[in-house]
Structure 1
Amino acid sequence: MHFKYLFLCLIFFSFQSNSQILEEKKNFRAADSLLKEPSFSVHKDNYFLTGVPLDEPIDRNSADVKYQISFKLRLKSKPLWGGFFPYLMYTQKAFWDIYASSKPFSEINFNPGVAVVRPFYLKGGRLTYGTISLEHESNGRDSIYSRTWNMLAFSLKSQISPRWIVGLRGWIPIVDKEDNPELTKYVGYGEASATYQIQPGRWSADILFRKGSGLINYGSLQTQLNWRPYKNENYYLTLQWFIGYTESLIDYQEHKNMIRIGFTIKPENMGIF
Structure 2
Amino acid sequence: MPRMSIYLGVGAIAASATMPAVAAVQTLISTVGVADASGRATIALNFLNVGDAVQHFELPPRLVADLAVGDRHTAVTLERIGSATPQTLAAGSFVRADYSASLPNGADRATLSLASGAAFALSLPKAGRDAQLAVGKPAAPLIPAHDPSAPVVVQQSFNSARADTGNAFLGNLSAYLPIYAAYGPGTSTAAKIQISFKYQLFGTAGATGADRSWIDGLTFAYSQRLYWDLGAKSAPFRNVDYNPELIYIVPAPVRLTGVAFGGRGGIAHESNGRDGTASRSTNYVYVQPMATLPIGDYKLSVGPRLWTYVGNLSDNPDIAHFRGNTGLFAEIGQDNGLRVSTNTRLNFASGKGAVEAEVSYPINRWIKSLNLYVFGQGFSGYGENLLDYNRHANRLRIGVGLVR
How many Å separate the matches in 2 of 1:117 and 1:101? Answer: 43
Q: 1:172 to 1:123 in 2, by over 3 A?
A: farther
Q: Which amino acid aligns with 1:184?
A: A
The partner residue of 1:229 within 363, 376, 382 is 363
The partner residue of 1:89 within 221, 226, 231 is 221
**Which residues of 2 match residues 114-129 of structure 1 at below 5 A?**
114-121=246-253, 124-129=257-262
Could you list the runs of 5+ residues in structure 1 that have no partner in the other structure? Answer: 1-24, 53-57, 268-273
**Which residues of 2 match residues 121-160 of structure 1 at below 5 A?**
121=253, 124-160=257-293
Q: What is the Cα deviation at residue 144 of structure 1? A: 1.6
Q: Secondary structure at the match of 1:112?
A: strand
Q: 1:84 to 1:189 in 2, by over 3 A?
A: farther
Which residue of 2 is the match for residue 10 of structure 1? none
Instruction: Confirm whether residue 201 of structure 1 aligns to residue 336 of structure 2.
Output: yes
**Which residues of 2 match residues 104-119 of structure 1 at below 5 A?**
104-119=236-251
Q: Secondary structure at the match of 1:160?
A: strand
Which residue of 2 is the match for residue 176 of structure 1? 312
Q: Secondary structure at the match of 1:230?
A: helix
Q: What is the Cα deviation at residue 120 of structure 1? A: 3.8
Structure (1/2) with the larger helix percentage = 1
How many Å separate the matches in 2 of 1:206 and 1:164? Answer: 10
Q: 1:166 to 1:266 in 2, by over 3 A?
A: farther
Q: Which amino acid aligns with 2:281?
A: T
Q: Which amino acid aligns with 1:195?
A: E
**Which residues of 2 match residues 48-67 of structure 1 at below 5 A?**
48-52=181-185, 58=186, 62=188, 64-67=190-193
Which residue of 2 is the match for residue 43 of structure 1? 176
CA shift digits 1:86-118 (9 cap, x unpaired) = 111000001011221111111000000111112
Which residue of 1 is the match for residue 350 of structure 2? 215
Q: What is the percent sequence identity of the aligned residues?
A: 27
Size of the aligned set, in residue pairs, is 229
How many Å separate the matches in 2 of 1:62 and 1:154? Answer: 33
TM-score when normalising by structure 2: 0.52
Q: What is the Cα deviation at residue 70 of structure 1? A: 0.3
How many Å separate the matches in 1 of 2:371 and 2:329? Answer: 21
Report the aligned-residue RMSD.
Answer: 2.6
Which one has the largest radius of gyration?
Answer: 2
How many Å separate the matches in 2 of 1:117 and 1:84? Answer: 8
The partner residue of 2:322 within 163, 168, 186 is 186
Contact 1:185–1:213 at 8 Å: present in 2 too?
Answer: no
Which residue of 1 is the match for residue 29 of structure 2? none
TM-score when normalising by structure 1: 0.75
Could you list the runs of 5+ residues in structure 2 that have no partner in the other structure? Answer: 1-34, 43-78, 82-99, 102-170, 205-210
